[in-house]
Chain A
Amino acid sequence: MNAPADFEFDEGTLRFTGELTLARIGDLSQRLAALSDAPQTVDLGKIERIDTVGAWLIHRIVRDHDAKVVGVDEDVAHLLEQLGQADKPLKIRPDATPPFIRVLREIGDGTIAAASSLYGLLGFFGATLIGLWGLITHPRRFRFNAIARQFEVVGVKALGIVGLMSFLIGIVIAQQGAVQLRQFGAEVFAINLIGRITLRELGVLMTAIMVAGRSGSAFAAQLGSMKLAEEIDAMRTIGVSPMEALILPRVISTIILMPLLGFYASVIAIIGGGIFCWIDLSIPPITFIQRLQEVVPLTDLWVGLLKGPVFGLIVAISGCYQGMQVEGNAEEVGLRTTASVVQAIFLVIVLDAVFAVFFSSIGWI
């Protein structure tokens, strides 16, 4: 019992023995391919068991050499006949293209995809504005609960990590600033550095990056999985607009929360820097605050607060847009989630540069 599949070949007759099954087939297929002569008869009288894989090998010999099968009972004959019917050429995977052409094609596809993704994002932005207008004209369709829920997920639950990040950034700025300024004996200017850079730039920028990683990606993954499960199609057929039920609550809450989170981040960063100044530079908190008031113009606060909603909008719509683009399979959800974060961070940084130029040209230096 349970002998591996084997065969002898003499005078045009292939005589098989053992178990012709997937588990015991070993390298039988290669050995059969290496036969010197074409067999005329296949004798299965001595085999112990056969499954579809064994039967396939027999069928192959019969087909290729027009051989005759002997020593089979009705069941094996039936199995062979079944395999004969199932013998249809089949492609395993879509056709592959030559590497050179594939590289060219991928570069082309990548360029088109990048351009069309920005174009699509613009279209999606338009659709969001129209949806928003719809809400303004029909305020009763406003989904207060969904927005409150997003407030919690996007805002309240982010307080811890955004706070920790900002606190550490504040300390690092103060420390690095102090080290450099000490060379001129101007350590006290570290306070200018902390106050201005956090309120103007880093508070909201780092927050936007954090929110893109935390919430933008979550939007893309949630909407993407919902699309895969046909949940969004189901919503549409029931008459619920995915724009109103899913996208606008996320967009609105992120727009409102981003300046708040950015302001919070700036304050925590200033606290971190202040603590560093107190401990390392022996500047007492009172002095620190007084000096902050003197050196940080109010416009810095406005710059930070004005950028917040714009960054929030970008993060939310690129998350939602990429999520809604998911089609096909689970891998796509991952790709789109990555794309949403990359796109959001890229656009946020580009716009931050634009804002820097804009604000300095209107004199808010």
Chain B
Amino acid sequence: MVQLNIAEGETIIHVAGLKNSFGDQLVHDNLDLDVKRGEILGVVGGSGTGKSVLMRSIIGLQLPDQGEIEVFGEPMIGREEYEAKQVRKRWGVLFQGGALFSTLTVAENVQVPIREYYPQIDAVLLDEIAAYKVAMTGLAPDAGPKYPSELSGGMRKRAGLARALALDPQLLFLDEPTAGLDPIGAAAFDELILSLRRTLGLTVFLITHDLDTLYAVCDRVAVLADHTVIAVGTIPELLALDHPWIQEYFNGPRGRVAAGAAKLKTGEAGK
């Protein structure tokens, strides 16, 4: 009975001809990217190739020099604040550094977006929502009343994720969600994303350096290099390409280990 609304091929994020630069430094040039509804798109690229900047442009924190950006079919550049807000409440964002509000507790952080957009929700329900969101991201209950400065790096990531999930968004932006998580936590995170996608029909824009996560959850992977997206596709499709960086990325020592682990896992599931 759940409406996943997976109209095949419906475009959720549309980026065309994007150009970004800081002073003389060109970050993106003529970058195109489409993300379809219900898919988990991995975004990879070397450090400093502009993955975070791409995410910031899509969510409207960075005004591009050129190009068009549409999210949910709505143009995002030069929107009225009120209209932009209506779009914003349909997505959740996890920043690379967590970006928790330092003067609020973890549970209060999770409540902020709900309070902002749905002030009619009563206090009891609000507290319960915060409680199960925090538990879902794998934080222990005693983390609820703690302030961000009292958390470890990995705990901050999870709290940031809980806040990103607060509004049950249709679209989730994650900037390196598993960096700084222990392997068990990272695997649990992969599981969580997959199961949320299944139950809520999430679309996910996932920036990551974690090859295990790429193999485990991503439907397609976009590769950023030379100021643009050089390829988008499933991992086997990318491997078929003859690009040196892609080959090195997936066939380097770490890439091979992750691929082996992924194969083992699917093999076991097949039995």
Q: Check A214 for interface membership: any CB of B closer than 8 A.
A: no
Minimum CB–CB distance from A32 to chain B (whole Å) comes to: 10
- Of the residues B118, B135, B147, contact of A329 by C-beta under 8 Å: B147
CB contact under 8 A between A72 and B1, given known A78-B198, A329-B147: yes
Contact B3 A53 (CB under 8 A): no
- Of the residues A48, A71, A92, contact of B107 by C-beta under 8 Å: A92
Minimum CB–CB distance from B113 to chain A (whole Å) comes to: 10
Contacts of B33 in A (CB 8 A): none
Contacts of B199 in A (CB 8 A): 75-76, 78-79, 82
Contacts of B128 in A (CB 8 A): 56, 60
A-B contact pairs, 28 of them (CB 8 A): A22-B114, A22-B168, A47-B1, A49-B2, A49-B3, A52-B129, A52-B165, A52-B200, A53-B125, A75-B4, A76-B1, A78-B195, A79-B199, A82-B195, A83-B136, A85-B135, A87-B131, A87-B135, A88-B141, A90-B127, A90-B135, A91-B145, A93-B105, A93-B107, A94-B105, A328-B102, A329-B147, A330-B102
Closest to A94 in B: B145
Contact A53 B1 (CB under 8 A): no
Q: Check B182 for interface membership: any CB of A closer than 8 A.
A: no
Contacts of A45 in B (CB 8 A): 1
Give the CA-CA distance A79 to B124 in the complex, in Å: 21
Q: Check A35 for interface membership: any CB of B closer than 8 A.
A: no
Minimum CB–CB distance from A235 to chain B (whole Å) comes to: 20
Q: Check A327 for interface membership: any CB of B closer than 8 A.
A: yes
Residues of B in contact with A (beta carbons under 8 Å apart): 1-4, 102-103, 105, 107-108, 111, 114, 118, 120-122, 124-125, 127-136, 141-142, 144-145, 147-150, 165, 167-168, 195, 198-200
Contact B135 A29 (CB under 8 A): no
Minimum CB–CB distance from A142 to chain B (whole Å) comes to: 35
Give the CA-CA distance A91 to B130 in the complex, in Å: 10
Contacts of B124 in A (CB 8 A): 29
Q: Check A89 for interface membership: any CB of B closer than 8 A.
A: yes
Minimum CB–CB distance from B261 to chain A (whole Å) comes to: 25
Q: Check A354 for interface membership: any CB of B closer than 8 A.
A: no
Give the CA-CA distance A91 to B168 in the complex, in Å: 21
Give the CA-CA distance A75 to B133 in the complex, in Å: 18
CB contact under 8 A between A86 and B136, given known A92-B130, A330-B103, A331-B103: yes
Number of A residues contacting the other chain (C-beta, 8 Å)? 45
Contact B122 A30 (CB under 8 A): yes
Contact B195 A329 (CB under 8 A): no
Contact B168 A90 (CB under 8 A): no
Minimum CB–CB distance from A27 to chain B (whole Å) comes to: 7
Give the CA-CA distance A217 to B1 in the complex, in Å: 60
Q: With contacts A75-B198, A88-B135 known, what are 14 further pairs, Cβ within 8 A?
A: A22-B121, A26-B120, A27-B122, A29-B121, A47-B1, A50-B1, A52-B168, A76-B2, A79-B2, A83-B136, A92-B107, A93-B105, A328-B102, A329-B103
Give the residues from 324 to 346 in chain A that come closer than 8 angstroms, CB to CB, to chain B. Answer: 327-331
Give the CA-CA distance A22 to B166 in the complex, in Å: 10
Give the residues from 24 to 52 in chain A that come closer than 8 angstroms, CB to CB, to chain B. Answer: 25-27, 29-30, 44-45, 47-52
CB contact under 8 A between A73 and B149, given known A25-B121, A79-B199: no
Give the CA-CA distance A56 to B124 in the complex, in Å: 12
CB contact under 8 A between A328 and B168, given known A29-B124, A76-B1: no
